[in-house]
Chains A and B, each alone.
Chain A
Amino acid sequence: MSDILKYFKPKELKKSLIISLWFMILTFPIMVIKVNTIENTVLWRWGSLIGMGIGSFIAATLWRYLLERKNMQNPLSSKKSLQIRIIEWANANPKIKPAALIAVSLFVLAFPFLAGMYQTSIMTTALMYIVLGLGLNIVVGLGGLLNLGYAAFYAVGAYTYALLNYHFGLSFWVCLPIGAGLATIMGILLAIPVLRLRGDYLAIVTLGFGEVIRIVLENWNGLSFGPSGIANIPRPGFFGMDMKLQTATIYIYFIMIAMVVFTIFVVRRLENSRMGRAWIAMREDEIASESMGIDITKSKITTFALGAFFAGMVGVIFAAKTTFINPASFTLWESLMILCVVVIGGTGSIVGVIVGAFILILLPEYLRAFSQYRMLLFGALLVIMMVFRPGGIVSNIRKKYKFEPIQASTNVSQKGAE
């Protein structure tokens, strides 16, 4: 911390002062002048100019200090990151893993009974974003295909349940596989035409696809009841039992927990499967992997389909949880939010996605204390997090095979056979 003092030398102070002056000029028209077009008066808010000056002076000093500290870090330095130290510590103490697992499960099981209904509801939302994030992670993190229309699959799931229930009275448990299945089909339908596209062209087509689905839902009144949405969607039932709101909230929470466990299990198994390794190879280099015998067409379609599957599943739960859906829940912002979960947490890493979902969903909730400023702070935090930790909070550490020279012969042959 001693080197922060450097920034109080006159030369550095002058630099910060210039930056703050620049910000005062920059924000002048929008922060200071406020025009009242009805009464034709101009309000000059000089106070905010002074506030801006002082604020940006402090921020500039801090920003430059932190940025320099980040750049000073030598990437080749032997200092291990916190994450690696935790992993090594856990590996060194084999008892820690089951203990941690038990602690987490106890906490998860007790949570809805300890916390209130409101907290449980928020936690359920966070759990939904974990599944959505893990699903998108298959497409973006493992497959390396940027999908900006992910909310469309989510919408397909939600509308499947809402409409099937409205017209045919089908129950939640019947609709759950149907919603997930329909979303999967949509994923395949989207994947087929975009097979040839690369990088950002793919991103924009998926974005367009997402928007098309939303606009169709908004305007096709005969199908989706338009912008007014569908209300009174029943919550999931439990063998025909009628539940009070509180019990139902807790019940959905546990459904979500089961879903998260299921998703983590599936994604973990997939990641290290033949298919998962093909995705990773495709992400690293399409042509090289193709020449190694990986079927790119199949890989692309399976990433899209599996990603969509989880979104459709969460969509059904979303409809059941909120009991009301309309197209406004499935905008581009929703897709971007899910993408943020993946990238902030750490692309490609399961733990990362979980951390990302908690940060992105719980943070705005607890920022409610700042009510109107929360989206402003949230935007700023996204920028700050990316600037200071561009790889996400938890980086994905690739599996490495370690050879131990002493028992080399047995080990190698075993590893080879796996």
Chain B
Amino acid sequence: MVFALALAAGIWWWIGQSKMGYTFHAVICQPIVMALPFGIIAGDVGTAMKIGANVEMVYLGMVAAGANIPADECLAGCISIPIALLTGMDPAAAVTLAVPFGLLGVFQDQIRRTLQAVFAHKADAYAEQGNVKGIERCAVAYPLALGFLLRFPIVFAAIYLGADVVEKLLDVIPEWLTHGLSVTGSTLPALGFAITIFIIGKNIYLPFFIIGFFAVQYLGISTMAAAIFGTCIALLITFLRREQMAK
């Protein structure tokens, strides 16, 4: 099972962060989505889903706008879910494992995007010759091959060799550090939400953020309820404004 999980996770990170399919990859890169196949391999779908959902929470609002990504939720999930399944770690504790890997994954993306300039220059040369097949290789085959080398070995080795190490490590690392990492896990989602507010970029609508925030704090409504109320508020304001304009 260790081998199968290591293989699956290695392939998952390779395929996921190769970003095939503009929004398809944005789905399969989510810890909560990969939890299902990992859970099937490990024979415990329920626990896997719980771990996946806990890790997913950290990355909920993260948006990769422009050239830089705030964290690599795909690597975070590919490492933390299999290892948590193998070591029987508590779903909430898996977050402490996910956080550092989520940060490490950012470097991989930077290396990838730096190196791939080489393929762009190669594509220029092929275009000069009118070589269509060559450009197609630069657009698909070369990036995929590079991605395999950059991604697969790391995750495969980390899980195949690392599960034992992690278990021993968790026994020896001091209490304050595990506590610190779990504090990080529950604070880091703030970055994602802040990025989204920044991207939406409409300061005059900020009171809606406050309404949403305290609707949950005081009334304890669920995400689904928030989506329903939020949609109605947004529609009401749009329609009322339209009515005002028609006058």
- A, B co-complexed: no
Q: B-side interface residues toward A, CB under 8 Å? A: none
